Homo-oligomer: A and B are copies of this chain.
Amino acid sequence: MRQSVRRWHDARVVATRTDELVTPALLVDADAFDQNISLMATALPGPRLRPHVKAHKSTALAKRQLAAGHHAFTCATIREVEGMAAAGLGEDILLANEVLDASRLGKLDARVTVAVDSLQTIEAAAKGGVKEVLIDVNVGLPRCGCTPDNAGTLAKIARSKGLEVRGVMGYEGHAVGLEDRSLRQGLTAEAMALLLQAHADVGGEVISAGGTGTFDINTWANEIQAGSYALMDTHYAKLGLPFKQALSVLATVISTSASGYAVANCGLKALGMDHGNPDVEGGGIVMIVSDEHITFAPEKPVTVGDRVRFIPAHVDPTVAYHDRMHVVRDGEVLDTWEVDLRGW
């Protein structure tokens, strides 16, 4: 991890110490990140993990996952696929999402597989010049995916249009975030029974599923689409997983009050808020989050000019607000990764 410091061509963010960073700034703890990558590569080596880039939206971070042995990636948007292909990470990309216009995918110099769950999405894949698909199966999460019973029929239709059907995917998203491990296990088992039933009708070598919360539970799928494990958040922390919190938002205390609260300069435009307020690193209570402020009651007194870190409740929509992440250790900025896969 420790390597020559790469500097941005942007005067505002040139810094070799976290103290010098313009705040708010997204930080990645180098040691926690390294441990997460290493632990996952041991648990799910090589192709057993198909890292989901939606959690970090950074080709620089994806290259660390590649270096750890994972050559196949998962994306959620066409833009993510394009960016990964442009960065030379296009050996085997799965767009684990339905699209109605696949023409941008068909043009890429990369191996692109797209999820399909309807006649319309199959036709869009074929028309757009995509060569390979997975049949997306609904295994319990009310979102995309055909019924398990319909998977075989869709596979036949896809093949009749000249598409290679590589297998199935089915995301147990209703299970991955549950704190109760036995419930998570039970729901995953039920979900994967549906996926295997569909796979029997569809064929192909790929059974793709899973996420960070089921990385060591889902033994039915032959590839796991985990993404959050690399950076983590307070929501996944509640599950007692072995991954460490690597992501934080660095902010500056800009105001304090005699009554004990303090105000830091990061807010709703630096934090995904769908899972609730962030945690204060080192303890304290977040009182209000507004556009560019957090009002919080710190556990230990702080003064104006102090720097504090907040731990986001949800990694994906937090990272998507930032241009870059700074990889840090002991107050030193080791590297800066562009968040280059944002937008659509």
Contacts and interface: CB of A to CB of B under 8 A. Distances in A.
Contact of A54 (B173, B258, B291, B343): B291
A78 B255 CA distance: 17
A320 B54 CA distance: 18
Interface string A6-36: 0000001000000000111100000000000
A254 interface: yes
Interface residues of A, number: 60
A201 to B, nearest CB: 18
A106 to B, nearest CB: 14
Interface stretch (A59-67, A162-170, A217-225, A269-277): A269-277
Contact of A255 (B143, B272, B317): B143
Interface stretch (A94-102, A187-195, A234-242, A325-333): A94-102
A118 interface: yes
Interface string A26-55: 000000000000000000000000000010
A316 B291 contact: yes
Contacts of A317: 268-269, 273, 291
Interface stretch (A84-92, A125-133, A202-210, A282-290): A282-290
Oligomer: number of copies = 2
A23 B97 CA distance: 13
Decide if the interface of chain A is mainly helix, strand, loop or mixed. loop
Contacts of A321: 320-321
A263 interface: yes
Contacts of A142: 257, 261, 287-288, 295
Contact of A263 (B104, B143, B273): B143
A293 B144 contact: yes
A5 interface: no
Nearest to A270: B344
Interface in A119-143: 120-121, 138, 142-143
A173 B289 CA distance: 12
A272 B268 contact: yes
Given A98-B254, A320-B321, 13 more contacts: A12-B344, A54-B291, A97-B265, A97-B293, A98-B265, A99-B265, A100-B305, A138-B257, A142-B261, A142-B295, A143-B288, A269-B342, A291-B317
* Nearest 5 Cβ contacts at the A-B interface: A273-B274, A98-B254, A144-B255, A268-B317, A120-B304
